[in-house]
């Protein structure tokens, strides 16, 4: 892909370089726990930028508009039209999880820049496989992934990026505890970055190439979002939890309903929620395709800031409250109202996070749909629901079971969100209570939520049901088994259900059987914040040195985990003629279908190796099978990556065809890098998810949509050829034309829409956004 690094890459080639010693297994680094530079909180500059925008727009602004527009690169001249303009923004911070940081740092190295221009961090949370328990799993991960951890630690030290070692916790919980603040604009290379909206910031998931732009000091581009308002009234009570708000919103908006919009919560009901509860809601906004989600600044956020040693930020935010809350009479593009007094707990699934049922409806739905009623496993925690409050409420339910002499009938796992949460719930007893009913505490990492689960209790292919407090439940997501019916609920409902062992148990109405007779669980209770304060646990942070210019970064040329990058070729100025249709995808095609996680995570730093998973989960419309497509060169059926490699070897460009919301789910840019690496030139679908469309553009591909969605049916599932013509006149707002020739001799001319602006067209012509950036730097 990109140019090789211009800095020394190993001690063998740069013997004078001082090698950075970073043992990933050394959890106690001796670095003070303060990782935050208060200079980032510059409300005065934000106010000045916003004032320039107010003078131009002359209308009340929503909370999200205030934060977004106060980060404009050129507030006096920026065109601002919701849903139309491309904003050029200056984010305050970048955060990367280890699976995506590998490619992001490889791209940054290729830029030739000496140091990141904005505060940035790497978080080791994705590569730890859950199997036996926290200590054993962490030790195994440190050994297995040593090469990757050492690369990320040394790259962080050289280029000025903070490094959170394995065992630190999940990126989004670490951000909430350390880096998020009211009014921050933060981008993260993970789709659940919006978790930080629970602390009043705009935290947005992006691909690695976007992160590279920001780390390079360039303005970051975002299509001006629409704003969906969710007005909350009433007050949560009983079994209802913040998770139920987003499960209810997901049911209404569906997985695509938030695309191109920020979801902004407001109203008197907000005051009944904890800061971490608001984070849960914002986190799972990724499941409706939202750009991000946010809550207005309030006292619950101030309490959380003070509890996490950031009282000075709370004091500043109090003085700038009007910047961090919506104006009266501001307008939303869509408004949803939810009465928390009457909101029931929800259980969403299986196979899609928007398939929602209230708890009173769920048991009947399970029986009618033939879902396996025996609950095999319940899992709580993850980045979505692993706060002190979540664990306290779950423990209050577990304590009732202990008091009545029963334990869980299903397997039960607990994932603390951070080392701080783990240490605190260990000190305060919640972990002990959860273990007494059979709970197993996993490592402070993503684990089963992202498919890092060495599950052994159910053979692959066996129908079974699990319930989690996670965020995502696509087919095969958690354990690689397409027959696992995964359901999403609050930690409270999950804990109650494992005590019954059945999917159709309703804790609001049903009883459990104990040694002394039947009993009914009482609604959970729990402290929002620990009365003794947080226990930080072991220090797992490595701060970068002030000057890393003489450090080296190791990349073994023979590694199967890491690979330096070479640039993609520039556009040759010609139309794309006679492209083979590699696959015509049928139905849902998420980034999990395009570039699976789980066992493939280990190759996230090696583009060629991970490309062997490209589109292997997508369903071929020609035969309703996954990873079986016809090689038009030989007539044989092979795996999708195998056929793509055959076409590439013969200099045959190809295109993939898809349906609605193509690329929903994770922010993983590998779902764009892999097709580009294996010879794709265009992806043509009915509609795209936001992040994936941007990622495709960044890598020099053409993400195009049918002007008439019915034209999807005009392309034969096998043997069709597609030509995209008129690229010499490629311009913003002007559709492109494609000619489709089918094997039966029929030919069709179809119109294809795009959302490219002038700058993005330059990415296509240069071969990628990074190629273009390097050209601009060379000219300067």
Query: Hey, which residues are catalytic here?
Result: 125-126, 190, 472, 666, 668
CA distance 321 to 57: 21
Residue with tokens 């109090």: 318
First and final C-alpha spacing in the chain: 23
Name the pairing type of β-strands 439-441 and 464-468. Answer: unpaired
State the virtual CA torsion across 758, 759, 765, 771 in degrees, nearest 10: 170
Which residue pairs, CB below 8 angstroms and at least 24 apart, start in 700-704? 700/568, 700/571, 700/676, 700/763, 700/764, 700/766, 700/767, 700/768, 700/769, 700/771, 701/672, 701/675, 701/676, 701/764, 702/576, 702/736, 702/754, 702/764, 703/754, 704/736, 704/738, 704/752, 704/753, 704/754
Q: 434: number of CA atoms within 13 Å, CB side?
A: 32
Chain centroid, CA 379 distance in Å = 19
CA distance 125 to 381: 13
Other C-beta atoms closer than 10 Å to the C-beta of 10 total 16
β-partners of residue 724 are: 576, 738
Tokens of 311: 């009282």
CA distance 459 to 481: 8
Q: What is the 3-state secondary structure (H, E, C) of 673-715?
A: HHHHHCCEEEEEECCECHHHHHHHHHCCCEEEEECCHHHHHHC
Instruction: Give kind and range of the element (H or E) at residue 491.
Output: helix 491-500
Question: Contact 491/607 with Cβ under 8 angstroms?
Answer: no
Whole-number Cα distances in Å, 547 to 30, 38, 93, 122: 19, 20, 19, 18
Whole-number Cα distances in Å, 37 to 77, 448, 668: 30, 33, 28
CA distance 389 to 168: 19
Whole-number Cα distances in Å, 226 to 231, 269, 278: 16, 23, 21
CA distance 675 to 613: 10
Q: 32: number of CA atoms within 13 Å, CB side?
A: 5
Spatial neighbors of 332 by CB under 8 A, at least 6 apart, are 62, 227, 228, 229, 264
User: Rg of the chain's alpha carbons, rounded to an integer?
Assistant: 25
CA distance 551 to 98: 20
Q: Is the peptide bond before 350 cis (omega within 30 degrees of 0)?
A: yes
β-partners of residue 378 are: 412, 467
CA distance 391 to 527: 9
Tokens of 193: 């970055």
β-partners of residue 641 are: none
Chain centroid, CA 487 distance in Å = 19
Name the pairing type of β-strands 625-626 and 619-620. Answer: antiparallel
């Amino acid at each position: 892909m990109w140019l090789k690094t211009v800095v020394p890459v190993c001690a063998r080639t740069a013997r004078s370089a001082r090698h950075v010693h970073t043992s990933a297994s050394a959890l106690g680094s001796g670095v003070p726990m303060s990782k935050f530079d208060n200079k980032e909180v510059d409300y005065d500059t934000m106010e000045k930028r916003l004032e320039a925008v107010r003078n131009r727009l002359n209308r009340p602004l929503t909370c999200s508009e205030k934060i977004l527009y106060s980060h404009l690169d050129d507030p006096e001249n920026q065109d601002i039209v919701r849903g139309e303009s491309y904003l050029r923004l200056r984010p305050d911070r970048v955060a990367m999880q280890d699976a995506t940081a590998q490619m992001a740092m490889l791209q940054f190295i290729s830029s030739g820049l000496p140091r990141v221009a904005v505060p940035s961090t790497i978080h080791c949370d994705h590569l730890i496989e859950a199997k036996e328990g926290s200590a054993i799993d962490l030790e195994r991960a440190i050994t297995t992934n040593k090469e990757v951890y050492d690369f990320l630690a040394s790259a962080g030290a050289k280029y000025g990026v903070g490094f959170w070692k394995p065992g630190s916790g999940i990126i989004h919980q670490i951000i909430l505890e350390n880096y998020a603040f009211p009014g921050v604009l933060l981008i993260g290379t993970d789709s659940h970055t919006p978790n930080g909206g629970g602390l009043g910031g705009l935290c947005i998931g992006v691909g690695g190439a976007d992160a590279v732009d920001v780390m390079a000091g360039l303005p970051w581009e975002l299509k001006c979002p629409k704003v969906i308002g969710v007005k909350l009234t009433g007050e949560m009570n009983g079994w209802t939890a913040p998770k139920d708000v987003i499960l209810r919103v997901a049911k209404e908006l569906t997985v695509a309903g938030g695309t191109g919009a920020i979801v902004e919560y407001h109203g008197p009901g907000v005051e009944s929620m904890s800061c971490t509860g608001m984070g849960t809601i914002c986190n799972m906004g990724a499941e409706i395709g939202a750009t991000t989600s946010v809550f207005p600044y309030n006292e619950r956020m101030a309490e959380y800031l003070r509890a996490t040693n950031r009282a000075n930020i709370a004091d500043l935010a109090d003085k700038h409250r009007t910047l961090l809350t919506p104006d009266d009479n501001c307008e939303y593009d869509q408004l949803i109202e939810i009465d928390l007094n009457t909101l029931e707990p929800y259980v969403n699934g299986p196979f899609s996070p928007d398939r929602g049922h209230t708890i009173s409806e769920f048991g009947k739905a399970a029986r009618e749909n033939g879902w396996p009623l025996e609950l095999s496993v319940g899992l709580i925690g993850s980045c979505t629901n692993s706060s002190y409050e979540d664990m306290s409420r779950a423990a209050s339910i577990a304590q009732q079971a202990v008091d009545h002499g029963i334990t869980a009938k299903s397997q039960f796992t607990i994932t603390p969100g951070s080392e701080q949460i783990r240490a605190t719930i260990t000190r305060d007893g919640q972990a002990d209570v959860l273990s007494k009913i059979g709970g197993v505490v996993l490592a402070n990492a993503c684990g089963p939520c992202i498919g890092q689960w060495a599950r052994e209790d159910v053979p692959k292919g066996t129908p079974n049901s699990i319930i989690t407090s996670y965020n995502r439940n696509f087919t095969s997501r958690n354990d690689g088994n397409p027959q696992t019916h995964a359901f999403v609920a609050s930690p409270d409902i999950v804990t109650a259900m494992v005590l019954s062992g059945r999917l159709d148990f309703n804790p609001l109405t049903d009883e459990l059987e104990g040694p002394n007779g039947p009993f009914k669980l009482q609604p959970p209770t729990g402290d929002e914040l620990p009365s003794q304060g947080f226990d930080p646990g072991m220090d797992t942070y490595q701060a970068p040195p002030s000057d890393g210019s003489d450090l080296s970064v190791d990349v073994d040329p023979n590694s199967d985990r890491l690979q330096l990058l070479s640039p993609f070729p520039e556009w040759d100025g010609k139309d794309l003629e006679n492209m083979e249709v590699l696959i015509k995808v049928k139905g849902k095609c998420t980034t999990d279908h395009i570039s699976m996680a789980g066992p493939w995570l280990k190759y996230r730093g090696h583009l060629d190796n991970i490309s062997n998973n490209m589109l292997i989960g997508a369903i071929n419309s020609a035969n309703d099978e996954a990873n079986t497509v016809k090689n038009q060169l030989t007539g044989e059926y092979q795996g999708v990556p195998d056929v793509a490699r055959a076409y590439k070897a013969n200099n045959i460009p190809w295109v993939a065809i898809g349906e609605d919301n193509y690329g929903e789910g994770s922010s993983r840019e590998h779902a764009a890098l892999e097709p580009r690496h294996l010879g794709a030139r265009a992806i043509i679908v009915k509609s795209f998810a936001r992040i994936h469309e941007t990622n495709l553009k960044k890598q020099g591909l053409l993400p195009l949509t049918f002007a008439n969605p019915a034209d999807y049916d005009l392309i034969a599932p096998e043997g069709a050829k597609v030509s995209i013509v008129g690229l010499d006149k490629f311009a913003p707002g002007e559709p492109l034309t494609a000619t489709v020739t089918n094997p039966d001799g029929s030919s069709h001319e179809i119109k294809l829409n795009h959302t490219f602006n002038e700058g993005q067209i330059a990415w296509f012509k240069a071969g990628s956004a990074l190629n273009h950036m390097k050209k601009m730097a060379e000219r300067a």
